[in-house]
Structure 1
């Protein structure tokens, strides 16, 4: 299979019975999901989306709108549409996964399941100033409050100079995405929330039920906004049950 810059696999699967497509949060790359296959069955393929501007695509311009990424993601997934697809995304990744699911459904090729994590419902307005518009000092404070960025990185001017354009673009993409009147999804919808998340409350995540039309499951897990890093196994086992 020809390598596509938008997708990264982590182990060869000769005859996959299904594919889990993972979408990273703002500032992250495909490597975020590099060990998720350890918690999946041998015939489960796990791949991650790699946006421009990071990892092997570091020289490419970053995107600032979710809609700009979706057509290329659909093209990259085209060779895998002969098997069940499960989409998972955290924070910004949840918006990307949701938009990709909507596009696949509109094309008559719905995924088997959509799982979103650490993100407010698509019809819920942003309740704070857009992060991308903050001053540099305010932006650093926001990253510190969110967690997930090592203090030594925040304190290193050279590293932050490299990362800020990518982070601002990703936050513009994340904060700018909404779906004010979502039609009910014709596929099961799973949602995960962190019980101590300072960015998105469990109630915010529960709002995804308004977009559900074929079943909704909410799981609240201990942790802050980046709770998924402590609960990889539980998340994988939940969205990749043996009978799916």
Structure 2
């Protein structure tokens, strides 16, 4: 299935859990293609395609986390017909967390599990690494973080395509203000690179304070985009948890 909001990179299995993936700032659905393929056919993986990039390039990007989450909540609603989980990397982790809270506010069933990758837990004082206001600051940050976008920073034509969604996403991050509330009752798996220049392991571990259901922490070799090199290892962690969701989902359906 391809839709405006979600892309599927592998055939959908007949059963099993569903995993929604949310990319990093400036990222498109293709960022999670490798993970999707490694999880097939054990899970139905749907990757978010934010407006303003790739197949949605003609649409204006959403530069507000709240508006993005509100739109995603409506897009997710008809797809919650089986046990599901969220996986978000970097900005996508924040989107996954706030989307879980939004579904709860709407009285909807939320994800059975949250996989939060490459992102510090939100806090009242905000995240200083998000306060980028100029193209020069954004480009310097992308060089620091590395990843696939880093390879096109010196290509003027490609940068004209890449910069609009990057600007919008960093505006969204800069304006985001965490609103304290009751902790989630959703279990979490937190993943972080051991040499991530903007996400100290302790800041990632702080996600544990935002759930009453426990949070497992996995520190993997690599920087902010450790996932590019450790996709198979991450897929194994995700697969093991999704397998337990599939079992619990069948048990619940049988009762």
TM-score norm. by structure 2 comes to 0.87
| Offset, 1:129 | 6.5
Where in structure 2 are the equivalents of 1:151-162 lying within 5 Å? 152-162=151-161
| Offset, 1:117 | 0.8
* Paired position in structure 2 for 1:29: 28
Mapped pair 1:221 → 2:207: no
| Offset, 1:238 | 1.5
Q: How far apart in 2 are the matches of 1:39 and 1:128?
A: 31
| Offset, 1:198 | 0.6
Tell me the C-alpha RMSD between the 2 structures. 1.9
Q: How far apart in 2 are the matches of 1:179 and 1:209?
A: 16
| Offset, 1:152 | 4.9
Q: C-alpha deviations, 1:23-58, integer Å up to 9, x for none?
A: 000111001111323332524101100000001000
Q: How far apart in 2 are the matches of 1:108 and 1:76?
A: 13
User: Is there any run of 5+ residues in structure 1 with no aligned partner, and where?
Assistant: none
* Paired position in structure 2 for 1:100: 99
211-220 or 151-160, larger mean C-alpha shift: 151-160
Q: How far apart in 2 are the matches of 1:178 and 1:148?
A: 27
Partner SS state of residue 76, structure 1: helix
Q: C-alpha deviations, 1:195-215, integer Å up to 9, x for none?
A: 100111111101111101111
Mapped pair 1:121 → 2:106: no
Q: Contact 1:122 / 1:182 at 8 angstroms: preserved in 2?
A: no
164-173 or 219-228, larger mean C-alpha shift: 164-173
54-63 or 36-45, larger mean C-alpha shift: 36-45
TM-score norm. by structure 1 comes to 0.91
